[in-house]
Structure formats: C-alpha cells, structure tokens
Amino acid sequence: MSIQENKFASDLEVKDLTQRAADFIEQVIYDDIPEEALRIGRRCLVDAMGLYVAGSDHEATIIQAKMVSDIGGVPEAFLLGGGEQKVPSSLAARVLGTAGHAHDWDDSQVSRDPDHVYGLLTHPTIPPLTTALVVSQTLEKISGRQLMLAFLTGYEVESKISEWMSSEHYKRGFHSSGTVGTFGAFAAAAKLLELSRDEILQGIGLAASFASGIRCNFGTMTKPLHVGRAAENGINAALMSKRGFSADKSALDGPWGFFAVQGGGVTSEKPKNENFGEPWSIVEPGVSIKPYPCGVLTHPTIDLMLELVVKNDIKSEEIDEVIVRAGSNILNPIRYPIANNHLQAKFSLPAVLAMAAINRRVGKLEFEDEFVQSDAMQAMQRRIVTLYDSKIEAMGFEKMRSKVEIRFKDGRSVSGSSSEVYRGGPDNPLTDREVEEKARGCCAGTLDEKTTDSLIENGWNILNLDDVSVLSEQIQTKSW
C-alpha cells in the first residue's frame, strides 16, 4: 500500500513516532518520491561519490580499512581502498562511511526554525547512501531506482528525527550525524532487505541503542568514524532484526525512548504538523552541498572573508588583525583558536580565515597538514581573534551570522556582515556544474579521468541504471 493510499494523520500524538517511522519505511514506494526530491538526491549522490574517493586515502579511512582487512570474514562488499578485497557488509560500511565524512565536505541538513542550531542537524546523505551502496552489493542486481528509494527513505527518516528533536541533544554534546545517522542507515538497509513491519519496529529499537557520537571528538579522526559507525550499526540493526533479534517496538517514544534520553524530548509542534514524507526534508527546508571541506558553521564567514579580501585586493602581509564576531552557535562547536593539523582546521575560524587571507581559496589543498602547519598559516592564525556577540546571539540560530573586521598595519580597516543566504545553501545552491567540478576535484589524483567521467555520468544517470554495482566498482582503488 502506498503512502497516497494511506496517508498518515498529522494530528497523531508524538508518542507514536516509532509507529509512524515504521509505517513510512514499510509503505513508501518509488512513485511517492517527488521529482524535485529525485533531482536534489542525484546532486547529493554525485557529490558523495566524489567524497568517497577523496576520503579513500585519508588516514582515518586507511587505519579503519587495515583493521577490517585484518579481521576478514565473509566477502560480501568491497573494502574501500583494498583493491579486490571484500569483507562483511557492516564492516565495509564502516570504512566507506568514514571515507565519505573524512574531509567534512559532505552535505548538511538545514532548518528554518529559529530554535534550532546548525550543529543539531545532520549530514544526511552519507549514512543512508553508504548503507544502500553496501547492502546492494549483497543482493542480486539492484537498480538505480531501488537504490534511490532506499537512500531517500533513509535520508527522510534521518532528517525528520533530527529536525523534530529538541536542541538539548546538541547542547548535551551529541553528534547527530552519528546518532541520528544510525536511523537513516537502518531505514535504507530495511528498505533494500524488505523487512516486515514488525522487523522494522525492532530494528528501530536496535538503532536507538546503537546510536552514538559525541562532539568532544570534533577535530579528530573519531568524528568521521561516527558516520562510518552509523552506517555499520544501521546494517547490523537491519540484519539482526531480520533474524528475529528483539528490541523495544516504541524506542523513539516515552520517558526511556531515544528522543527523551538523548534529546530532552521533541519540539512541541513539528511532529503534529509534519510527517515523514510530508514534506520531504530534502526539498523543504532543503540541503546544503558544501563548497568548503570544513564545518558548515564556518561557511558564511569564509564567504565574507573571501569577499573582503578579493574586493579590496588585500595581501596577507598587510593584515595586522582580524576580528570575528559571532554567537555561541558558531563559536562553541568551531572551537580551535589555533589549528595545528588539518582535522582541527575544519573546526577553527582562525584557520579557515587565514587560508582565505593567504591563498584566497579554502579547498582540499589548504587542509593538508603541510599547509596548516606552515609558518605563514601559524602566524596568520595568531592575528585572528574571535569574539562573542550578544546582539548576534539574540537574533536566533536558524541562520549562521557573523561579522568580520580586517585591520591593516597602516591603520585602515574594512568590515562586513555575513550574508544570510550563504553559498551552497538551498537559497543559493551550487550549480550542477559546480557539484560536478567538486566531484572531479575529489577524484583527481586517485581515479583516472576516464573512470571519473564514467562515475559522474552514472551518478547523474542513476535512475536509468539497471545495476548499481558499477558505482561501488568505480570508486574502488588500492590505497594502502
């Protein structure tokens, strides 16, 4: 039965969220997906395929891959970076998911709710897409439409749980891409494995206990592992429930459920006025495909810094000091006053603004340790000061607001405020060509040009593919 034949009532009590999630996962069919969701989903997929390749030789990925290689097991799915080696699906997903988030360049969920902070919202694509790609390798000839149904089902479940949760989840220090990402990964696996409704309910219960990830690990290899573990745990939850492993069938609800225990409850009205697939979150409020390989909270400030530097033709050696003012939603998670390596740089305003000042670019090369640790970068970071601004704080958290003042050694200064319509966000999205160029840049030096061309073509053409195994084959390399 399709969703159109059995619409979920929007006035159900929030205590029924587990049942509603299970209804959606079980009942949604390909024809229920809006054309706009499919269009945006293809963009997210092309972006992600490049990110898997870019992350395949990242140190975090390689360490995990070598550990998995040593464990071995039933050869079900490609071990990323391991050439022809295949390993159990859940372990393959751990490595692939870690690679997809390794550069912190994967897309971000957005919100139009003033009470939500951006850190609460998840990186929605990598957990369910990783799971869908890996599980599809264990099944016989999964089509592009089947893959997209599983991926977008997981994307929607993950995003709605994240959007509906109280911001206490974030304030307590949880990383939603690891916690909520587990539910998205499970939903994608459940769809491909065709779990029954009872199995879906038990799988949600397992996912609720598996969900993990805390923000103290931002700026370390463990942050991308959160996403890898979300994919791994999502598959394990699906496989266990399919074998009859029991779990609570209302694990999102009640005083001991996921929302209450990890998130302090749900937002008061959203679950009453929205439902899974009503609207599809990938369409409204949308998704941000990142132009920069770092925390999205830094992006509007990077945009502003680049604008000031280019417009005023500023040379880094002319700068005496840079003053950045922002609210706690940016300053708390973007927490490194001085970045000493590429991982810390992804969560450091002084680091990313120093990159903009020195190279007028904030890209993959700028996040190499050699550049971050250079004398020029270390010196410039020490000339950049971040300050808490109570007026910006009072404006709410649904926008990433900041101000930048650049003071010159000769006494002059220039300043500006970040745009609330930041580059990459749904109101100012990257073009399809820019998404493709980003993917090509991610593949450069790892895949040959012919394979890259074919990978990107297959990504755009996903709905017409008869067998999606080609995608997993094309991103496979020998990285270690």
Q: What is the CATH number of the domain that holds 222?
A: 1.10.4100.10
Residue 312 and residue 413 in one domain: yes
Decide if 111 is inside a domain: yes
> What's this model's pTM, rounded to 2 decimal places?
0.91
The answer to whether 238 touches 193, Cβ cutoff 8 Å, is: yes
Which residues does 105 contact at the CB level (< 8 Å), separation at least 6?
51, 54, 290, 292, 293, 294, 442
Residue 154 and residue 300 in one domain: no
What domain range includes position 32? 3-291+441-474
Residue 78 and residue 163 in one domain: yes
Decide if 179 is inside a domain: yes
Task: Please give the sequence-ordered ranges of beta strands (E in DSSP) within 342-418, or none if there are none.
Answer: 384-388, 402-408, 413-417
Residue 386 and residue 449 in one domain: no
Decide if 183 is inside a domain: yes
Give the C-alpha separation, 302 to 362, whole Å. 8
Residue 228 and residue 311 in one domain: no
Decide if 423 is inside a domain: no
Residue 47 and residue 166 in one domain: yes
Decide if 433 is inside a domain: no
Residue 166 and residue 193 in one domain: yes
Structure tokens at 329: 């939603």
Residue 125 and residue 21 in one domain: yes
Give the C-alpha separation, 205 to 385, whole Å. 45
Structure tokens at 338: 């001085």
Structure tokens at 78: 């490609």
Find the CATH number of the domain harbouring 360. 3.30.1330.120
Residue 398 and residue 257 in one domain: no
Q: How many CB atoms lie within 10 A of CB 116?
A: 25
Decide if 387 is inside a domain: yes
Decide if 479 is inside a domain: no
| Token pair 């395949």 in the structure block, residue | 56
Give the C-alpha separation, 80 to 87, whole Å. 10
Residue 310 and residue 189 in one domain: no
Helix (H) or strand (E) holding 108: strand 108-109
Decide if 402 is inside a domain: yes
Kindly tell me the sign of the dihedral angle through the C-alpha atoms of 167, 170, 176, 179: negative
Residue 267 and residue 301 in one domain: no
Please list the pLDDT of the chain residue by residue as tens digits (480 residues).
344 433 333 334 468 999 999 999 999 999 999 999 999 999 999 999 999 999 999 999 999 999 999 999 999 999 999 999 999 999 999 999 999 999 999 999 988 776 665 545 799 999 999 999 999 999 999 999 999 999 999 999 999 999 998 888 888 899 999 999 999 999 999 999 999 999 999 999 999 999 999 999 999 999 999 999 999 999 999 999 999 999 999 999 999 999 999 988 888 688 888 999 999 999 999 999 999 999 888 999 999 999 999 999 999 999 999 999 999 989 988 999 999 999 999 999 999 999 999 999 999 889 999 999 999 999 999 999 999 999 999 987 777 899 999 999 999 999 999 988 889 999 999 999 999 999 999 999 999 999 999 999 999 999 999 999 999 999 999 988
Residue 212 and residue 327 in one domain: no
Give the C-alpha separation, 475 to 355, whole Å. 30
CA distances to 111, 118, 141, 471 from 288, in Å: 10, 11, 31, 23
CA distances to 82, 144, 236, 326 from 450, in Å: 21, 21, 35, 45
141: phi then psi, degrees, rounded to nearest 5: 50, 75
3-state secondary structure of 420: coil
Domain count, the chain: 2
